[in-house]
Amino acid sequence: MNGPAHVPVLAHEVTALLVQKGSRTIVDATLGAAGHAETLLEAMGEHGKLLGIDRDPDAIATAQERLKRFGSNVKLVQGNFADVEEIVGASGWGPVDGVLFDLGVSSMHFDRPERGFSYQNNAPLDMRMDPAQPVTAADVVNTYDERDLTRIIREYGEERWAARIAKFIVASRKKRRIQTTYDLVEVIRAAVPAAARRGGPHPARRTFQALRIEVNGELEALEASLPQAVASLAEGGRVAAISYHSLEDRRVKRTFASLATGEAPRLRVLTRKPIRPSEDEIARNPRASAAKLRAAERLAAPHTPTLPPSGSAA
């Protein structure tokens, strides 16, 4: 699991931001193949502890093997980062010194065709990060009405041909159920005009992204989780988020800015502009090319003066 497909993105930059002098406990809210977790634990030294969270039991198993040399300094939880504050509380390790989000789909999902995340391999149309979730991508494309499919593909995939793709999906499923990734790719190819297919990325890329986000509730989970992560930080603790498309990055930027303003700001934004991978890193790991890293630091809680009891002398 330590091959090039699982090299952690922006590992040096993440470590420099999150591992400060005296850092003892960090939460990796998107554990994946544990590349970032391993790097952070090594940087913290023998007293460093890491709480890892992932929805996927396969990721938890991979991380247990990769991190076993750190022993009891590691706790791994199968769960949704939308519940990060509750998970940190239950661990007994809070407040923590850092929280990391490496958003989107893990490389290990793309590397396992049977999970149905990739349009480049034929597999059941699944896309669930947690295999116990009830709704698959096949359920979405075969049961959502045309209006909802259009909205999802347009909003989550930022796909200009969303309405046409949704129309073709509905027409196709009337003939037979869309079961596999290649079934869906075939429908998308038919829907996207030939001139649009000749340039740019694979015509199915945006629709697959949209379906994955819908199936896993990714954006709702992110919006719920970021304020919880901040609430879980000790004073001076830091939260960092790596995003891979504008939908994620806008939400991270907006949340950090919101919590850094007002009469009682809770954060200080550390990255005026997002940190991007170097050309050398992209050459070594092409999957890093779209990554944007933003970070912020927890401020001290504002002092609230204690008022005298009602009716007492001032």
Residue pair 204/188 in contact by the 8 Å Cβ criterion: yes
Please report, as a single letter, which amino acid is at residue 39. Answer: T
Task: Kindly state whether residues 227 and 210 are assigned to the same domain.
Answer: no
Query: Does 92 map to a domain?
Result: yes
104 vs 119: CA distance, rounded Å: 16
The pLDDT value given to residue 189 = 95
Q: What is the pLDDT of residues 82-93, one digit of tens each?
A: 999 999 999 999
Task: Kindly state whether residues 137 and 207 are assigned to the same domain.
Answer: yes
What does the angle CA 11 – CA 286 – CA 80 come to, to the nearest 5 degrees? 55
Task: Kindly state whether residues 202 and 268 are assigned to the same domain.
Answer: no
- Which residue would you say has higher pLDDT here, 115 or 247? 247
Q: Could you list the residue range(s) of the whole structural domain that residue 59 is in?
A: 4-102+218-298
Query: Cis bond leading into 274, ω under 30°?
Result: no
Query: Does 181 map to a domain?
Result: yes
**Which of residues 165, 192, 216 is at a domain's end?**
216
Where does residue 45 rank: exposed (0-12), middle (13-18), buried (19+ CB within 10 A)?
exposed
pLDDT at 136 over 70: yes
Output DSSP code: residue 48. -
Task: Kindly state whether residues 208 and 258 are assigned to the same domain.
Answer: no
Query: Does 271 map to a domain?
Result: yes
CATH value at residue 159 = 1.10.150.170
266 vs 254: CA distance, rounded Å: 14
Task: DSSP for 268-306, please give it.
Answer: EES-SS-B---HHHHHH-GGGTT-EEEEEEEPPPPP-PP
Reference 247, options 165, 154, 139; nearest CA is 154
Please report, as a single letter, which amino acid is at residue 176. Answer: R
Query: Does 110 map to a domain?
Result: no
3-state secondary structure string across 93-129: CCCEEEEEEECCCCHHHHCCHHHCCCCCCCCECCCCC
**Which of residues 192, 216, 240 is at a domain's end?**
216
84 vs 30: CA distance, rounded Å: 10
Task: Kindly state whether residues 12 and 66 are assigned to the same domain.
Answer: yes
The pLDDT value given to residue 111 = 66
pLDDT more than 70, % of the chain: 92
Task: Kindly state whether residues 59 and 90 are assigned to the same domain.
Answer: yes
Query: Does 150 map to a domain?
Result: yes
- Which residue would you say has higher pLDDT here, 107 or 187? 187
301 vs 266: CA distance, rounded Å: 7
Pseudo-torsion of CA 302, 305, 310, 314, nearest 10°? -160
**Binning pLDDT at 50, 70 and 90, where does residue 291 land?**
very high
Please report, as a single letter, which amino acid is at residue 291. Answer: A
Task: Kindly state whether residues 33 and 98 are assigned to the same domain.
Answer: yes
Query: Does 98 map to a domain?
Result: yes
Please report, as a single letter, which amino acid is at residue 86. Answer: E
The pLDDT value given to residue 308 = 52
Output DSSP code: residue 193. -
The pLDDT value given to residue 23 = 86
Task: Kindly state whether residues 163 and 204 are assigned to the same domain.
Answer: yes
Please report, as a single letter, which amino acid is at residue 155. Answer: E
Task: Kindly state whether residues 90 and 16 are assigned to the same domain.
Answer: yes
CATH value at residue 45 = 3.40.50.150
- Which residue would you say has higher pLDDT here, 55 or 104? 55
**Which of residues 174, 189, 216 is at a domain's end?**
216
Query: Does 276 map to a domain?
Result: yes
Domain count, the chain: 2
Average pLDDT value for residue range 134-150: 97
pLDDT at 113 over 60: yes
Average pLDDT value for residue range 85-106: 93
pTM for this model (two decimals): 0.88
pLDDT at 140 over 70: yes
The pLDDT value given to residue 7 = 80
186 vs 173: CA distance, rounded Å: 12
Q: What is the mean pLDDT of the chain?
A: 91
Helix axes 181-191, 162-175, angle to 10 degrees: 130
Query: Does 176 map to a domain?
Result: yes
Average pLDDT value for residue range 250-258: 96
The pLDDT value given to residue 196 = 75
Where does residue 110 rank: exposed (0-12), middle (13-18), buried (19+ CB within 10 A)?
middle
Q: What is the pLDDT of residues 264-280, one digit of tens each?
A: 999 999 999 999 999 99
pLDDT at 46 over 70: yes
**Binning pLDDT at 50, 70 and 90, where does residue 314 land?**
very low
pLDDT at 105 over 80: no
Task: Kindly state whether residues 90 and 234 are assigned to the same domain.
Answer: yes
Task: Kindly state whether residues 92 and 11 are assigned to the same domain.
Answer: yes
pLDDT at 22 over 80: yes
Reference 18, options 249, 256, 293; nearest CA is 293
Q: What is the pLDDT of residues 195-248, one digit of tens each?
A: 777 777 889 999 999 999 999 999 999 999 999 999 999 999 999 999 999 999
The pLDDT value given to residue 109 = 63
Task: Kindly state whether residues 222 and 96 are assigned to the same domain.
Answer: yes
